[in-house]
Structure 1
Amino acid sequence: MQRLSIIIGFLIVTAGCSQFTNSPTSKAWHNTNAYFNSLIIARENMKEADKQLFTTREENYSALMPILLPMDSTKAQEVATNLKEVIEKTSLIAERHSNSKYLAEAYILLGKARMMKGDFINAIEVFKYVNTTTKDETGRHTALIWLMRAYTEQRDYEMALKVSEVIRTLDLNKTNTRDFYLTKAYLHQRTGEFATSAAIAEEALKLMSKNEQTARVHYAVGQMYDIINQSAKALPHYLAVPKNRPNYDMEFYAHLNALLDEAVVRRGSTAGVQENFKKMLTDRKNTDLKDKIFYTMGNLEARKENYPKAIEYYNASLRNSTGNSAQNAYTYLELAEIHYNKLLKYDLASLYYDSTITALPKNSPDYERISRRASSLSDFVTYQRVLTLEDSLQHLAAMNPAALEKTLETVIQQKEEEAQKAKEAAELAAKKNNNVAVDRLSDKDETFKRWALYDPVVIAKNKSDFQQIWGTRPLDDNWRRKDKEAGSISFKVERGVVGSEPAQANAPTRQEAEQQKADAAAKEMEAKKKELYTRIPTTPEKLVASQRKQEEAYYQLGKIYKFQFNEPQNAIATFRTLLAKFPQTVHEAEALYLLALMSENQETNPYRATLLSKHPASTYARQLLRGNASITSDTESKAHVVYTQAFNLYSNDSYQSALKMAEDGLITYTGTSIEDKFAMLRIILLAKTGQRDVYQQALNEFIQGYPSSNLMPKAKELMAVLDKK
């Protein structure tokens, strides 16, 4: 009987502790178990993961610093064990202690862990679940803030903004208010709204304590104010960085940027600022940071529009690089931007953009933009060189033979002089680099000296001296013996008998040697002139080919200005030049179309009228007409009637009449459902009437203008046949 009472009592206590009841006993039991068996462990693992990721982060202080550390699933693998523990322990709370007061916090930790691992879909579902089910207001607010963060990391900025609008109406506690401001500032920073982001981050800073994270936010806010050219607002944030326990690098960069902004705010002499930079250069602690100092000095000169001096400092930054490819990338980028935007030297800008892409990390926010610019500039420079080269060749072709002969000699001599100067400049640069390396070595330890047998400079000098005396000797025994001659100087040097032997009978005299040398130079010059002469368009066929290259170059340059550089005025000027120099160009219709689009008055501009009158059946003319077309059932019916009549004429071999009707129908019934049928019928009739060039152009336009047409396979088949021919 006593045993039965114990069992019954145990069952009553167990039933009272069920997670599906809300009795005080049950809540106390599940709160205790959830807290001590799971939540504390999950919290500590999440704290350790956050600390490790923050400590081991890799910052690029030359690029815009994100307000919050972006979630990186690859980087999170370093803390995979901690995240796994968080997921397991918080899942236990959800499964076994569902009536615990710690349930909301457990779910938030679970969602955060999943988000850090890159599982955004499940993380978002967890945060949504907490928002809709928990009665804990603080937990619900926290979940919404993390939901906004998840959408931001997923680049779904529209949804992130919608969540932020909901959070804005809630009564948040101090911690959630701070986190909301930081997350919203991060969101606007990601979308490029730097003024808004900086203003919101400033509100968050009022709620933050002194630590390295606060220093990061101050630094990021200062950078954003610099981007929008508000140096006066940026300066206080850079000055606040050292007050918040940053690492040395962050403090160093903040000091550099503060000096830069101070010079801008003063708007006067920058001599004092430059003196500070020079002091930093001589500070032994900054030996490995000289490239950053020179980079900032270049930025200061660029802001003053003193571009030659800025370029000088940027080059000094590259010379003093310690292998920091990220810093080099931004130095190359500044050089590229100056040459592209300010100096308009596109060929040099192209080279600097290429160097930027080589050194820039692929996860950089600017990588895609810079990559597109580099690709566009490469094409641009190629076509610019085509124009310059073909102009020069055509100018040479118009010369009389005597003038041409003299000009070719001058060109060859200039090229040889340029090559020699380039070689000397390269040797000088190599010598300077060697001296810099020696200087760096002596800077590190002025008393340090290499042993002669390990010193590469001494080895190279001694080797050169040996070869001047003995020639190139093999490394073997008895190398001094008389029959061991090597190189141009033999064993006789050792005995001092060089030059005492009788002259060879067949040796040339000095005058003959000079004549032979002159003959060889003349022969080489003739060969070079002959090679250049073959490139000059001296025949009508070569001249036409040269002009076609120019025509294509103008066309491509116009499109690059229009679509890639977004410079409509340069595009208009280039297309006008194309039409003026090549009135019969195959690109006339497209050039007129683009000029019409870039003109202010779309209805009355001359390019529109010319396009509609000269190329009424082209795709480009139809594009202009399509916007004004009013299609009704009656229009569709008439279009079918006209198409049937045109097709019947084609079937009866009346090709000219059918072509006229097809072209009229294509213009009149632009925008109807059978527009593509009119276009295809016209293509077939152009082939029948032997208009090869127009046929090829119409076929290309069809493929571009009707990508979803059912007749596309037919068009591609015709194009394949044309390519074979």
Structure 2
Amino acid sequence: MKATFKAILIVVLCTFLTISCSRKKDKFINRNFHAITTEFNALYNGYNALEEGRSSLNAAYFDNYWDVLPIERMQIFEEVVLPGQSKNENFTRAEEKAAKAIQKHSMNVGGKEKNPQIDEAYLLLGKARYFDQRFIPSLEAFNYILYKYPASDKINQAKVWREKSNIRLDNNELAIKNLKRLLFQEELEGQDLADATSILAQAYLNTKSVDSAITQLEIASNATKNNDERGRYRFIQGQLYNQLGYKDSANIAFDKVIELNRKTRRIYMITAYLEKIKNFDYENGNKLEVTELLTELEENRENRPFLDKIYHQIGEYHLNNNSDSLAVAYYNKSLRTNSKDEFLKARNYEILGDMNFDASVYADAGEYYDSTMSNLALNSKPYRVIKRKRDNLEDVIYYEAIAKVNDSVLRLVNLPEDERLTYFEGFVEALKIKDEEEKEKAEAAERSSGLATVDNRISGQRVGANKPSQAAVFYFYNPTTVAYGKNQFVKIWGDRQLEDDWRWSNKGISSGANTASTDDILATATDEEKFDPQFYISKIPSEEKEIDSISKERNYAYYQLGLIYKEKFKEYGLAKNKFQNLLDSNPEERLILPSKYNLYKIYEALGENDEATIAKNEITSKYPESRYATIINNPELVSDKDENSPVSLYEALYIQHGNQEFADVISKSEEYINKFDGEPIVPKLELLKATATGRLYGYEAYAKAINYLAITYANTPEGKQAQNIESNILPKLASKDFIAENDSVSNNYKVVFQLKNPEPEQVSDFQKTLDSVLKNIKYYKLTSSKDVYSPNTTFVVVHGLKTGTVARTFDQLLIKEDKRKIKAPYFVVTSTNYQIIQIHKNLDAYMNIDNN
């Protein structure tokens, strides 16, 4: 009986489920079955997935408090996502649940939707697409709700989310229009009002209507039920008031954030405190009160995650109070917190760099600017600003390093033997202490982790075991060992590029001086030599020629530093010291007069009239024929267009180079280089001379000249250009091999007339005659040009022939009268081989090939 009853009950239930599952019948059972199933199955799971996705999105999002915060915490990715792909699997799952609810539970009967949960499904669908940053599909979902379900209780939410999508698609004006209409037509309350007004505020911010945005944020702050949102809206209000310059109103908004205390995210409260401190009036405000507040924020244990920002603001406070040493200490504290805020780290480094720059410690400033750039987006505007500052320091850092190293060497050279010994004995003692410390650190590291220790296994064997272990780990997989090895490498070898022959001393990153660094010496020393003072004494230069070279290099560095400080940084005091030190160091004759003239101009700039008069009289009396004396005696006659100025002479030489007067360019360049030595025009003259040398004497001479320019003027634009030529262009030109000529391959051929030891008029006359002859040749459009090959040979070249056969029978194209005019011998060559001939000056090798 019981079995029969159970069977009947099962049949009844199955029949009931079958009937209720139908989506075509508008019955009470059908409607409620699908509504309940939709709400508590698909939509429930879908909204859970949506919230998980939003949580992960918020966790990965990092607010930039250096700019006005966006209303909505949502990271926008730049990369394009292909159809079918997703940035977050949770949003994909939410979208799938929404689609499942629509597909399996929609009850479209008589053109009307009978399931009251389907509009909610479309809302979930739109939200999932929105957070997955597929804004056009999300807009379609929200528009469908407005079109298909105008009586839905979710209609206002759909309208707000539609405008959020419009704003993401940069349709801000449309969003403002629709949201204003919604607020006018509907009596929104609570969270709906907060959502509508907050997103309207974002649209106003995007269109730069800051006042309107503040008004809407006030409404949203009062209407929202979420304290996190209220704290964010109030904080943004404060930022906007600051942007408008209303500091009192901004502080009131920040106070409202602070009043929320633990009800909102702590970062809002901490940053609100810091923003209020930024608005502090340093002239009339209560500094004791601010100091106590900063101390309290620093010492509160709950604020540890925000110490990077707190330390930075304390540093700012001390900097504004002219307490530079305290400011530096706190900026460094902020950096040591390992903050995730890249812009904050960049800001700390930049301020420290600026402080060193203002103190004329340019080498340290350059290092801080390097660190600043490493924390900024590549090629962003802030990056370019800092890079410009850093580039301006390149030369001064380079020459300061040379001066420092060479000064040290020359001091050692001039020390008596006993003082040298005392100095290096102290150096060796310090080296021994340092070496002992390094050994202790290495032993401690080995004891703590071992060279290859994993799970109590050392060198492949378990501690206390007799059998080898199979779980031994290669020692490069041990981070402690690797870090120790890297440090030791840098200490011994310095910062080396990854390249062949890295062990050579000239591969190290050095100051540019010719003297060997301590690291280079230590790298080549044995353990016995390393702790022997006599080893280091033996490395001190002793030959007069070598000492003289070091002294000249140091003097040139002094001269360049004097010019840089005077011209680029207007640091006349530093420039004066460098020029005076140069003149006291027995400089070469070529540097004396320019240094004295620059000192004269510095004295004038500093208002030291007596010294300026003395310098002026010395120049005009001792060097009356010099250009500097002419400038001093007749300043009104001197202008940028002076024919004897370096720039004018360079421009004239450049014109000669264009006219292929290479020999004259080379000789005059050498003359001007000696005449204007030390002035900015010299690297330009060297580059022009190198180019002329290559055109006249070929590849080998050009490579040598470029190498000299790249080494001697490494930090100038011309030197860097030479380095690029040496690295990237010369290797492509190195081959001397001629290319086999083949008429079946498209080629340009040249007919080359060779004129030996010609006068300039002779070349011009021959080319004029050739041009008149070429005009008489039918079917071919031929032109000519003049190319200097060597000091004794000039080519006149015919262009426009496409095949070797025609080129080799060039004389047959001429009529009889023209043949009498053109009697000079010629040879035929392809354009490629002609280029090789001109680069390597190997015409004889080409003529020996059976081509002509």
TM-score in terms of structure 2 length: 0.42
Structure with a larger share of its residues in strand: 2
Please identify the structure whose Cα radius of gyration is greater: 2
Structure with a larger share of its residues in helix: 1
- Which gives a bigger RCO, structure 1 or 2 (Cα 8 Å, sep 6+)? 1
